[in-house]
Amino acid sequence: LVFFAITAGIYAVLCLGLNIQWGYTGLFNIGIAGFFAVGAYTSALLSGPPPGPLDWRTVGGFQLPWVVGLLGAIIASGIIAFLVGLLTLRLKEDYLAIATIGIAEVIRLILKNEGWLSNTVWGIKHIPSPLHQPIKAGVSSFLKGHPQFSPWLVHFISNAYNWFYLALVLLILGLLYWTSERSIRSPWGRVLRTIREDEAVAAVSGKNVFSFKLQSFVLGAMVMGMAGSLYAHYAKFIDASSFEPLYGTFFIWVMLIVGGSGNSKGAVLGAFVVWGIWAGTE
What CATH number corresponds to the domain at position 37?
A: 1.10.3470
pLDDT at 148: 75
pLDDT tens for each residue of the chain, 282 residues long: 899 999 999 999 999 999 999 999 999 999 999 999 999 999 999 999 999 888 989 899 999 999 999 999 999 999 999 999 999 999 998 999 999 999 999 999 999 999 999 999 999 999 999 999 999 888 888 778 778 777 888 778 888 999 999 999 999 999 999 999 999 999 999 999 999 999 999 999 999 999 999 999 999 999 999 999 999 999 999 999 999 999 999 999 999 999 999 999 999 999 999 999 999 887
Residue 109 buriedness (CB in 10 A; 0-12 / 13-18 / 19+): exposed
pLDDT at 6: 98
- Beta partners for 238? 124
Q: Nearest-CA neighbor of 17 among 194, 197, 172? A: 172
Cα 124 to Cα 140: distance, rounded to the nearest angstrom? 28
Within a 13 Å sphere around the CA of 206, how many CA atoms are in the beta-carbon half?
Answer: 0
Cα 142 to Cα 160: distance, rounded to the nearest angstrom? 11
DSSP structural state of residue 236:
S
pLDDT at 128: 96
Cα 17 to Cα 229: distance, rounded to the nearest angstrom? 14
Cβ proximity of 223 and 176 under 8 Å: yes
Main-chain dihedrals φ then ψ at residue 238, nearest 5 degrees: -140, 145
Other CB atoms within a 10 A radius of the CB of residue 62 amount to: 14
pLDDT at 144: 81
Under the phi-then-psi rule, with left for phi > 0, alpha for psi from -120 to 50, and beta for the rest, what region is 57? beta
Local structure of 11: helix, strand or coil: helix
The pTM is what?
0.95
Q: Write out the residue range of the structural domain in which residue 44 sits.
A: 1-281
Question: Which H/E stretch holds residue 65?
Answer: none
Domain count for the chain: 1
pLDDT at 282: 73
Q: Over the stretch 100-143, which tens digit does the pLDDT of each residue have?
A: 999 999 999 999 999 999 999 999 999 999 999 999 888 888 77
Which stretches does DSSP call E strand in the chain?
A: none
pLDDT at 86: 97
Local structure of 48: helix, strand or coil: coil
Cα 44 to Cα 213: distance, rounded to the nearest angstrom? 30
Cα 188 to Cα 199: distance, rounded to the nearest angstrom? 15
